Structure 1
Amino acid sequence: MKLLDLKIQSLTVEHLSELLELDKACFDGWWTMEGYLRELESPNSHFLGLFSPFSSSGLLGMGCFWSILEEAHITILAVHPQYHRQGLGQALLYSVLKTAGDRGLERATLEVRASNQGAISLYQKFGFKTAGRRPHYYKDNDEDALILWLSDLQQPNFLKNLDDWHSIISDRLQQSSWSLIINNS
């Protein structure tokens, strides 16, 4: 079986139109062009993209976090709906957490819709715990957000977990005919 390359790399302003297309497919236009531009240009924002040369959409997924003191605040993690349930979300989350750890950050946090069981399950696989709830956080439907938290990004057990996750994710991607290449330049 021939594996299709998946590449994770930092996003730049040149990827703006692809980001907007992916946002429309995933969130029906949740973020604006100005919002993405602000994230791409911010020195505290780290934006990763998941690409495949074998896809007509090019950008298959995106993950972004802010560096705030010792914390990585994950602001977005999304995979094109056409590519769900193939391990791409795991690959993106792994890359976001590895990048945060490589930058010396000690913790990661995020908000997720209380009804988004798929995302919650993914985050829990990586060790995130529920730290609280933000009532009526999402303005489109007044839904609550769960606050998820992961600590100890600089501890030896987390670094070992990262190595283990890389193997697990690579195996999972191969089952869906993908091969992961990480390029954080």
Structure 2
Amino acid sequence: MFAASADNIVTGSKLLMELLGADAPARAEIAERMRAAEHAGDDATHAIFHQLNSSFITPFDREDIYSLASSLDDIMDFMEEAVDLVVLYNIEELPKGVEQQIEVLARAAELTAEAMPHLRTLDNLTEYWIEVNRLENQADQIHRKLLAHLFNGKYDAIEVLKLKQIVDVLEEAADAFEHVANTVETIAVKES
């Protein structure tokens, strides 16, 4: 179930990549597909919670299962929010650097999808949480550079507010990936 949820996040990251080169009508269509992916993520999260609540014995701590499912759901929520804001704010051009932010998210999504099947055995996960942590640090640097770029005087104040909210939400998605990796690390340490 976690693997299916992570695969859905990969779908969301691909939609973010599509957003970069899309015009306004295509962005609206991408936003609809992202909304559908976010709803599929919600369904996967609810299925995990339902299974958790109906199971007497769980493969690892209930709190960790809940935290992992919630964190995976948060990632999709943040990615969907970013796409939605681009469409709602009618952003014509995203600032240079957003593509790097999205590339980091796409890589984190791939790593997370690759890691989730390893929860069955808890093998080969160390590299996953180390790499996601490194990617989150990279995302922090990109975020700071984007903020500096936004405040350099090129944009008017309203545009800065709109763009800042979008890059902040993408940064929250990167933070959520790190939270997933930290939860996986906690599970592996407890169960080892």
Looking at secondary structure, tell me which structure has more strand per residue: 1
Higher relative contact order at CA 8 Å, sep ≥6: structure 1 or structure 2? Answer: 2
In the superposition, the TM-score normalised over structure 1's length comes to 0.31
In the superposition, the TM-score normalised over structure 2's length comes to 0.30
Looking at secondary structure, tell me which structure has more helix per residue: 2
Q: Which has the larger radius of gyration?
A: 2
